[in-house]
Amino acid sequence: MPNLFLPAAAVALVAQLYVLWAVLAGRAPASSPGRRARFAEITWVVLPTLVLIAVLVLTWNRLGDPMAINPVSGVPT
């Protein structure tokens, strides 16, 4: 499972960092909104980035846990 998780996590992080970069560096000074709108825009990009990182860390921690497989009653082994 880690063989599939690590590339997927890397792609998700790269994509999210690109979105963050686009918001921070991609606006021309002449068309910049006010400070309040700019802060809101950056906040709505940073929050999902932090949530994504938290989900990836929690998922990675769960990958190491052993799976408990209980036998089904009435089914011969």
What is the per-residue pLDDT across 23-62, written as a single tens digit (0 to 9) for each?
A: 878 665 555 677 787 788 888 888 988 888 898 888 888 8
CA distance 20 to 70: 45
Q: 67: helix, coil or strand?
A: coil
Rounded-to-integer distance, Cα 14 and Cα 8, Å: 10
49 and 75 in contact (C-beta within 8 Å)? no
Token code pair at residue 42: 């950056």
Q: pLDDT digit string (tens) for 68-77?
A: 677 777 766 6
